[in-house]
């Protein structure tokens, strides 16, 4: 069986798990389950590229989240996935940081997007594989927030919410003065 077929039929983690890899990925990233399933498919495509491209490739942030989580399933990753599915070890190496590394990964990511198109005959989905400028200029500014500790609001709703709150305060002040 070819690697693409093995990847296609491969399920990460133990089949008997009550809480599947897909559900864990969705929960840990606050993604809808269908998006997590798509990310896993893209992670498998990335792994195929990593083995077949003949050069280093760089994942999108979403794909990297799937890879990080898969690495925590260490027995599955090292004893089943790498030898039986990929046929080789696939190591995850962090950046050493700095401008030169940033530039290298930026270029490498752009080349990965091109290799994706060449290999799969289609553009990668933008919601999972954003352009390099977003991946390396906007996305690194993100950080994880525990919603039990903070209120998280979409920036697009910030000003309308503030405006509505101010209007309500003004109305309360007018009504308070009127009925006083």
Domain of residue 115, residue span: 3-144
Helix axes 21-29, 33-52, angle to 10 degrees: 110
State whether 137 and 165 are in the same domain: no
Asked whether the beta carbons of 40 and 12 are under 8 A apart, the reply is yes
State whether 9 and 90 are in the same domain: yes
pLDDT of 161 reads 76
pLDDT of 154 reads 75
Domain count across the chain: 2
174 or 68, which is more confident? 68
119-174 per-position pLDDT tens digit:
999 999 999 999 998 888 887 767 777 777 877 777 777 778 778 778 888 888 88
State whether 13 and 36 are in the same domain: yes
Alpha-carbon span 86 to 169, nearest angstrom = 61
State whether 105 and 137 are in the same domain: yes
State whether 138 and 162 are in the same domain: no
Alpha-carbon span 135 to 142, nearest angstrom = 11
pLDDT of 141 reads 67
- With 0-12 / 13-18 / 19 or more C-beta atoms within 10 angstroms meaning exposed / middle / buried, residue 12 is buried
pLDDT of 138 reads 81
pLDDT of 158 reads 72
User: Which residue's entry shows tokens 């989905």?
Assistant: 125
State whether 127 and 171 are in the same domain: no
End-to-end CA distance of the chain: 82
Alpha-carbon span 70 to 78, nearest angstrom = 10
Asked whether the beta carbons of 132 and 106 are under 8 A apart, the reply is yes
State whether 65 and 117 are in the same domain: yes
State whether 163 and 123 are in the same domain: no
6-62 per-position pLDDT tens digit:
999 999 998 888 999 999 999 999 999 999 999 999 999 999 999 999 889 999 999
């Amino acid at each position: 069986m070819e690697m693409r077929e093995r990847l296609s039929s491969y399920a990460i983690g133990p089949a008997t798990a009550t809480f599947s890899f897909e559900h864990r990925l969705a929960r840990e990233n606050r993604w809808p389950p269908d998006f997590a399933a798509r990310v896993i498919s893209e992670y498998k495509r990335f792994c195929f590229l990593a083995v077949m491209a003949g050069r280093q490739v760089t994942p999108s942030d979403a794909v990297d989240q799937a890879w990080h989580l898969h690495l925590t399933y260490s027995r599955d990753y090292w004893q089943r996935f790498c030898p039986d599915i990929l046929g080789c070890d696939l190591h995850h190496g962090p950046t050493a940081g700095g401008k030169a590394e940033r530039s290298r990964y930026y270029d490498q990511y752009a080349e990965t997007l091109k290799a994706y198109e060449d290999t799969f005959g289609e553009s990668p989905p933008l919601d999972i594989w954003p352009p390099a400028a977003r991946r390396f200029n906007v996305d690194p500014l993100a950080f994880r927030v525990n919603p039990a500790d903070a209120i998280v609001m979409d920036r697009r709703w910030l000003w309308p919410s503030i405006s509505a709150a101010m209007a309500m305060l003004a109305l309360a002040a007018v009504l308070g003065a009127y009925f006083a």
